[in-house]
Structure 1
Amino acid sequence: MTQPILLTDAQMRQFITEGYLLLHADFAPEFHAAVQANLNEVYQNEGNPGNNILPRIPELQSVFDHPVVQGALTSVLGEGYMMHPHRHGHFNKQAEAGGWHKDSYWGHQKVRNHRPWWAMIFYFPQDVSVEMGPTGIMPGTQTYQSRVFDRDETAEEVKSAGPAGTLAIVHYDIWHRATANISGKDRYMLKFQFMRTAIPVEASWNHTEAEWSTPAELSAAVQQHEVVWRDIWNWLTGNSSAGTTEAVADRDAAQAAKWMQELQSEDQTVRAKAADELGLLGAAAQAAAPLLAQQLEAGYEPLALNAAYALGRMGERGIAELLQALSHPTKAVSRAAGYGLSIAGKAAVQGLIEQVTQQPSVNAANHAAFALGEIGAEAAEAVPALAALHSHADENVRRTAVESLGMIGTPHEAVVAGLERGLKDADSQVRFNAATALARLGSKAEHAVPAIEQALQDENRYVRATAAEALYYVGTEKAKNALLKFLRTARWCATTTPQNTF
């Protein structure tokens, strides 16, 4: 295969704002036809192979080796991205559309990342017309926990129809659904998940324009979240602290009074725009901090999101409001505060450590731990407090703490020790997060190889698979030997079926 075809700045801007891109893997038609024929045989004789779809139909690996797909995944998730062990084939003959949803984490809960730590690929091995029920995507909804659009709204829905080889790369948390297949024809969609293994230090796409600029045309469903988008862009280019507290150069601080007045509007969409504009002014609009803090309780997620991110850019005054909101009895308010604090940088770390240590509530501890992980290496002083959460009674707090340890990554010895404890946790997703975090540490996690090797025998399929990935990413001689020993025993024959046992 040729070198990966990296995304352009324009494509990355679309992914950041709309949460998806439609692409095409230009294999010969015979390739996709062979995949579909094999799918027909497997589904008819064996049923859905679930997580085993790749070894059962190994030619699918060619799809993920294709320069377009490699380039898109590298652009969004950085080099060294990991294919998640969960993958699933969707077979659709339903004449009725499925329900709008975000994918879960295999039944587990997680504070969802706005920054692209995860992505999914939807691959269609046959021509898909609108009548055949392609996957429907609601643009711009990847940062919303709630469904802010009407249940039956379809006007702004993007349907991933196209010729065989059509792919959608989507932010993991985008709202999507199966649309109605009224064609009478079979339709397959193969879903694969991928994870980032490192905080970006530079852009991983074909990056030529340093500054963020909003696309000239956005889907009508996409609401204004300039501060969110700028944060993601800056983070992806390795400049996560850009514009944390200072005003944006092309914005006039004198506009602050106008936008503060707009925060009094009865129209929540007007207030959402005003909150975003105040966020763009940064510290120049810090007088608006109390008004913005009130919007965290509005109940309208686009507004609460913009208010939280605006407060995160306003320095000490905004951080104080967010730290107070972490202890709010409403989970959505606490979560929004965590998102705002995640972009506040080093200045928020000490206050977040106090929240983790004092634990005024489960939500406060969980969302403070999340924000520390997103801050990354600048939150290294929080590692002892996060590691101490291994004994917390709430599994969601332990899940977040373990993930954040891996995202902070330093000091390595203390982080690895905390993750080794995570591999032995009673909760399977804590163990999964610990294995993922160790993979992200690479060779710095060599001390944990015996613990990772033990996790290869875990009762949970995702822990076992991710432990194997962790050994691969650690990559030392000791890790490779442990991985090879496991694979020699675990090797699975893709052509052995009930009809073909010898």
Structure 2
Amino acid sequence: MGYGRREDPKLFNDEQMRQYIADGYVVFEPDVPNDLHETIRQKLQFMVDEEFNYGNNVLPRVPEMDRILNSPEVQGALISVLGPGYIEHPHRFCHYISPDATQRTLAQNCHQDSYTPLGRPRQHYPRFARIMYYPQDSPVEIGPTHAIPGTQYHRRLTDQDRQNAIPIAGKAGTVSITHFDIGHAAGINALRQPRHMIKFIYVRAEEPTAPSWDCRDHIWRNPETYKTPHDLHLIWSHIWDWLCGKKDQYESFCASDPATYGLEDLHHNNLDKRLAAMHSIAATKNTDAIPALINKLNTDDQWTRLAAIYTLGAIGQPAVQPLIETLLDTATHKDENPVPTSWNEGAISMEDAVHALVAIGTPSLDPLIGLLENSSEWARINAAFALGEMDTLAAQAVPALTRCLDDASHCVVRTATDALGSIRRNSKEFIPVLERLLKVGRPEWQMPDRRDWTPYDQVRVNAAMVFTRLGKDAISAEALLLDTLSDPNGHVAAFALEALRRIGTPSAMDGVMEYLMTRRWDESIEKGRLF
């Protein structure tokens, strides 16, 4: 396989997609020569021993990994989960455990990733995915990454979650694709041998309109086997229907026949009984349950709060106003403890009420658009996020979201920018404002934070990312994007580069090639051989 020539992708089948939705990850092996992994391992080892960890530049430093990423299996996994137009994110990293490293316990290592180095809301729908690759044999004893099944929808990890971590072990060449927000951890390296895991981040470019995997059955069925400790058919079927591009994201659930439970079972001591009760309420759309379900939002019981979100979504329009009131009550409290000014190096959990409003769909639109004018910063952030999660269904929100780009809060601006990139409609309205954001930022956004990133860096990254998602619809911004290739922030330039490639005009491609040729890397150069 040479550059510019790729084999047909090997798409996931229905069972693999069901496992991804339920557990949050799928493990597989790309069909590449075995000696490729050893070549990659040796180069990575030389890098950490003799040079330094190249971070985002690890792929050009070890370009053989491109063979892994462009293999039919990896391409097929990414297309299946993120759609055919997925975007390669500039963040990559080699996670290395040296033989003499000081190690923490597995439970201490468990975490959900930050959207490094950005702050960005966590999402239930599969919009970000992580590819993890081992170039060496990775038995449990060498400390492979452990995943915590089902936690991709959690606001945070509980002590019980940490006990459920499962090793993703395998021989050299093992690859996994994971939901970005799944809980995971580096294992304990008991072998005291060098251990490498390289991660790559990918992003969905547009909402699904049809299954992007080898789909033979459009109705959700629970996987034959799954590792998540509880049956979350209600949530899983909703995500499945979204990935299938269905307008009714409860179609699969309505085709099921959950057992009948009473309202009193919402408070049962047994978690599985509580979950089954919510499935029953969702099937009957029992509005009497709304107050009790709202009380279960934002609680520490992650499985219960998750089921409550999508039960309220199934109930639909009668739950909208109570959810809006819940959001406003929370926003009032939140504004007394303001959103961190940096919103840097982390992931932000939006209110559970907002996820429920997203699941309800059309009846939530007008109230959410109204919240964009609310005096509460947290309410505006949550409303913008929710509208973005609705994709093209929220096209009528574009004018209001465009006005949000002039908000004094960079958190609101960044969230509204992301939302416009997800909606991808009426782009002529907001492209001029995004162009201005790439050129001019507020003085109060210039204060460096962790890794010397400023809030304005993050505004520009989000804006450049929208142009990447717009593809050919961003042609009016071509000249600015060519200038943006010189942006001092590498993430901004990377997204501008990909946006230009997708625009695809001769002038855009000339700019792309000039940029890349200037940065061409001669991998044969090494210490002692300079030319």
Q: What's the TM-score, normalizing by structure 2?
A: 0.87
Instruction: Quote how far apart the aligned CAs of 1:418 are.
Output: 3.7
Q: Does 1:415 align with 2:430?
A: yes
Question: Which residue among 152, 175, 180 is the counterpart of 1:167?
Answer: 175
Could you say which residue in structure 1 is the equivalent of 2:449?
Answer: none
Q: Does 1:248 align with 2:254?
A: yes
Could you say which residue in structure 2 is the equivalent of 1:217?
Answer: 225
Could you say which residue in structure 2 is the equivalent of 1:34?
Answer: 39
Corresponding letter in the other structure for 1:108: L
The 3 A distance-change label for structure 1 pair 31 and 106 is: same
Question: Which residue among 502, 506, 511 is the counterpart of 1:482?
Answer: 511
Corresponding letter in the other structure for 2:470: L
Instruction: Quote how far apart the aligned CAs of 1:466 are.
Output: 1.2
User: Does structure 2 retain, via aligned residues, the 8 Å contact 1:84–1:195?
Assistant: yes
Q: Does 1:308 align with 2:274?
A: no
Could you say which residue in structure 2 is the equivalent of 1:263?
Answer: 266
Query: CA offsets per residue over residues 31-68 of structure 1, 9 Å max, x none?
Result: 11111122222222212121111111111100011111
Instruction: Quote how far apart the aligned CAs of 1:403 are.
Output: 0.5
The 3 A distance-change label for structure 1 pair 295 and 74 is: same
Corresponding letter in the other structure for 1:275: M
**C-alpha separation between the residues in 1 aligned to 2:184 and 2:298?**
27
User: Does structure 2 retain, via aligned residues, the 8 Å contact 1:325–1:334?
Assistant: no
Q: How do 1:420-499 residues align onto structure 2 when only pairs under 5 Å count?
A: 420-424=435-439, 425=441, 426=445, 427-499=456-528
Could you say which residue in structure 1 is the equivalent of 2:48?
Answer: 43
User: Does structure 2 retain, via aligned residues, the 8 Å contact 1:126–1:188?
Assistant: yes
Q: Does 1:372 align with 2:387?
A: yes
Question: Which residue among 220, 227, 236 is the counterpart of 2:234?
Answer: 227
Could you say which residue in structure 1 is the equivalent of 2:343?
Answer: none
User: Does structure 1 retain, via aligned residues, the 8 Å contact 2:9–2:72?
Assistant: yes
Query: CA offsets per residue over residues 138-191 of structure 1, 9 Å max, x none?
Result: 1110111211243752xx322111111111111111111111101021111111
**C-alpha separation between the residues in 2 aligned to 1:433 and 1:127?**
37
**C-alpha separation between the residues in 1 aligned to 2:253 and 2:169?**
42
User: Does structure 2 retain, via aligned residues, the 8 Å contact 1:406–1:415?
Assistant: no
Query: CA offsets per residue over residues 388-411 of structure 1, 9 Å max, x none?
Result: 112223222211100000111111
Instruction: Quote how far apart the aligned CAs of 1:451 are.
Output: 2.3
The 3 A distance-change label for structure 1 pair 272 and 325 is: farther
Corresponding letter in the other structure for 1:111: P
Query: CA offsets per residue over residues 58-94 of structure 1, 9 Å max, x none?
Result: 1110001111111111111111212111111111134
**C-alpha separation between the residues in 1 aligned to 2:242 and 2:527?**
50
Could you say which residue in structure 1 is the equivalent of 2:342?
Answer: none
Gaps of 5+ in 1: none
Q: How do 1:110-129 residues align onto structure 2 when only pairs under 5 Å count?
A: 110-129=120-139
Query: CA offsets per residue over residues 106-130 of structure 1, 9 Å max, x none?
Result: 2322111111111111100111111
**Range with bigger deviation, 298-307 or 336-345:** 298-307
**Range with bigger deviation, 59-68 or 459-468:** 459-468
Instruction: Quote how far apart the aligned CAs of 1:237 are.
Output: 0.9
Q: Does 1:22 align with 2:27?
A: yes
**Range with bigger deviation, 40-49 or 166-175:** 40-49
Corresponding letter in the other structure for 2:263: M
**C-alpha separation between the residues in 1 aligned to 2:382 and 2:232?**
21
Corresponding letter in the other structure for 2:500: L
The 3 A distance-change label for structure 1 pair 395 and 272 is: farther
**Range with bigger deviation, 97-106 or 201-210:** 97-106
Could you say which residue in structure 2 is the equivalent of 1:348?
Answer: 364
Instruction: Quote how far apart the aligned CAs of 1:251 are.
Output: 3.4
Q: Does 1:363 align with 2:378?
A: yes
**C-alpha separation between the residues in 1 aligned to 2:30 and 2:388?**
35
Partner of 1:391: helix, strand, or coil? coil
User: Does structure 2 retain, via aligned residues, the 8 Å contact 1:17–1:222?
Assistant: no
Instruction: Quote how far apart the aligned CAs of 1:276 are.
Output: 4.0
Question: Which residue among 103, 122, 132 is the counterpart of 2:142?
Answer: 132
Q: Does 1:91 align with 2:107?
A: no
Q: Does 1:387 align with 2:395?
A: no
**Range with bigger deviation, 485-494 or 343-352:** 485-494
Could you say which residue in structure 1 is the equivalent of 2:205?
Answer: 197
Partner of 1:126: helix, strand, or coil? coil
**C-alpha separation between the residues in 1 aligned to 2:178 and 2:278?**
27
**Root-mean-square deviation (CA), in Å?**
2.3
Query: CA offsets per residue over residues 434-459 of structure 1, 9 Å max, x none?
Result: 11111111111111112222322222
Partner of 2:141: helix, strand, or coil? coil
Instruction: Quote how far apart the aligned CAs of 1:267 are.
Output: 5.3
User: Does structure 2 retain, via aligned residues, the 8 Å contact 1:453–1:467?
Assistant: yes
Instruction: Quote how far apart the aligned CAs of 1:351 are.
Output: 0.7
Partner of 1:84: helix, strand, or coil? strand
Query: CA offsets per residue over residues 245-281 of structure 1, 9 Å max, x none?
Result: x9814437x93xx342112335566434433442344
The 3 A distance-change label for structure 1 pair 271 and 492 is: same
User: Does structure 2 retain, via aligned residues, the 8 Å contact 1:432–1:462?
Assistant: yes
**C-alpha separation between the residues in 1 aligned to 2:125 and 2:349?**
19
Could you say which residue in structure 2 is the equivalent of 1:236?
Answer: 243
The 3 A distance-change label for structure 1 pair 333 and 471 is: closer
**C-alpha separation between the residues in 1 aligned to 2:75 and 2:255?**
36
Partner of 2:111: helix, strand, or coil? coil
The 3 A distance-change label for structure 1 pair 239 and 51 is: same
User: Does structure 2 retain, via aligned residues, the 8 Å contact 1:390–1:421?
Assistant: no
Instruction: Quote how far apart the aligned CAs of 1:497 are.
Output: 4.3
The 3 A distance-change label for structure 1 pair 298 and 135 is: closer
Question: Which residue among 271, 274, 278 is the counterpart of 1:275?
Answer: 278
Partner of 2:158: helix, strand, or coil? coil
Could you say which residue in structure 2 is the equivalent of 1:292?
Answer: 293
Partner of 1:372: helix, strand, or coil? helix
The 3 A distance-change label for structure 1 pair 451 and 269 is: farther
The 3 A distance-change label for structure 1 pair 393 and 222 is: farther
Partner of 1:321: helix, strand, or coil? helix
Partner of 1:107: helix, strand, or coil? coil
Instruction: Quote how far apart the aligned CAs of 1:494 are.
Output: 3.4
Could you say which residue in structure 1 is the equivalent of 2:448?
Answer: none
The 3 A distance-change label for structure 1 pair 333 and 43 is: closer
User: Does structure 2 retain, via aligned residues, the 8 Å contact 1:80–1:196?
Assistant: yes
User: Does structure 1 retain, via aligned residues, the 8 Å contact 2:278–2:307?
Assistant: yes
Q: Does 1:339 align with 2:339?
A: no
Could you say which residue in structure 1 is the equivalent of 2:338?
Answer: none
Partner of 1:35: helix, strand, or coil? helix
